[in-house]
């Protein structure tokens, strides 16, 4: 009797397990590790603008900003995954994703991505026209320009497709104000300059994957020596750019100290990669780049709090 009851309980749980697995699969399809940080930049930019100009943010605005940028980033990742389903099946790093494994059909992924995109555009429309325009631009740049047109054709793919990475931060800023818009542009520009270091260091680490899939990322079409020099160069540009908010008297010592310490670490890691190229060094640069960007946006908030 105990065995029979156990089997009945197990059978009753099957539909719930299927629903749970389905939700997990669609969540994984959005590549949350990618969009978490971008949504944080939108949140941080909104809060920074609010603190700098003493503008209160309504709860509805918070919901629209966070949910809208989350939906937009998730839509972009879902639809680029749909575009890349053939090469994802080839690469070891990506072949376990929901579409290549058959856990989600390409058609369902396409519909899901388009629904998320529509939600993000609707939410941004209710913020203001600037947020809507930036959201539309970000989606187009990532899904069409980067994924559809450039990714398989040129090593400049991540540069021209990187504008979309800065869109969430600027959306967060303009959701609060368009005063001193240069501050929001600098925030977005910081993300834009962060993307090459972040992506190219990963591409160097998994160079064989990109080579096998025929994707002309920088480390695939250039020598290792040139690749690490370019990564070091873009890292230095990013770190120098990160000091501009202090030089232009927009932020103070809290931000400067944070940007200087984390920037020095980023430069040191890129020099290490340049002097002794290795999978460990490229992986370390890649892994530290996300905490670096996070620290700078936290510093924006804290500095604005004491502005």
**Cα–Cα distance, 56 to 71 (Å, whole number):** 24
Going along the chain from its start, the domains and CATH numbers come out as 31-305 (1.10.357.140)
Please say whether the beta carbons of 169 and 188 come within 8 A: yes
Instruction: List the end-to-end C-alpha distance of the chain, in Å, as a whole number.
Output: 70
Please say whether the beta carbons of 177 and 211 come within 8 A: no
Mean pLDDT of the chain: 93
Residues 89-114: pLDDT tens digits? 999 999 999 999 999 999 999 999 99
Residues 167-220: pLDDT tens digits? 999 999 999 999 999 999 999 999 999 999 999 999 999 999 999 999 999 999
* pTM across the whole model: 0.92
């Amino acid at each position: 009797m105990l065995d029979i009851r156990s089997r009945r309980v197990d059978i009753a749980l099957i539909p719930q397990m299927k629903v749970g697995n389905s939700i997990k699969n669609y969540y994984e399809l959005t590549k949350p590790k990618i969009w978490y940080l971008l949504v944080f930049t939108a949140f941080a930019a909104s809060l920074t603008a609010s603190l700098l100009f003493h503008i209160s943010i309504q709860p509805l605005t918070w919901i629209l900003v966070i949910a809208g940028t989350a939906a937009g980033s998730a839509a972009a990742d879902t639809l680029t995954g749909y575009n890349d389903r053939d090469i994802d099946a080839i690469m070891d790093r990506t072949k376990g994703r929901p579409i290549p494994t058959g856990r989600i059909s390409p058609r369902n992924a396409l519909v899901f991505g388009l629904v998320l995109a529509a939600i993000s555009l609707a939410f941004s429309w209710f913020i203001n026209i600037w947020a809507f325009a930036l959201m539309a631009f970000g989606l187009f740049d990532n899904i069409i320009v980067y994924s559809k047109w450039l990714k398989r054709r040129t090593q400049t793919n991540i540069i021209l497709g990187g504008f979309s990475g800065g869109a969430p931060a600027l959306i967060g800023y303009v959701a609060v104000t368009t005063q001193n818009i240069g501050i929001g542009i600098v925030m977005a520009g910081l993300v834009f300059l962060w993307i090459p270091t972040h992506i190219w260091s990963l591409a160097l680490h998994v160079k064989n994957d990109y080579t096998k899939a025929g994707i002309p990322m920088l480390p695939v079409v250039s020598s290792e020596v040139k690749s690490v020099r370019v990564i070091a160069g873009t890292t230095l540009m990013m770190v120098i750019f990160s000091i501009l908010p202090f030089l232009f008297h927009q932020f103070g010592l809290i931000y400067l100290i944070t940007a200087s310490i984390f920037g020095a670490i980023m430069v040191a890691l890129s020099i290490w990669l340049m002097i002794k190229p290795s999978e460990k060094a490229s992986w370390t640069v890649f892994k530290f780049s996300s905490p670096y960007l996070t620290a700078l946006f936290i510093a924006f908030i804290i500095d604005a709090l004491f502005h």
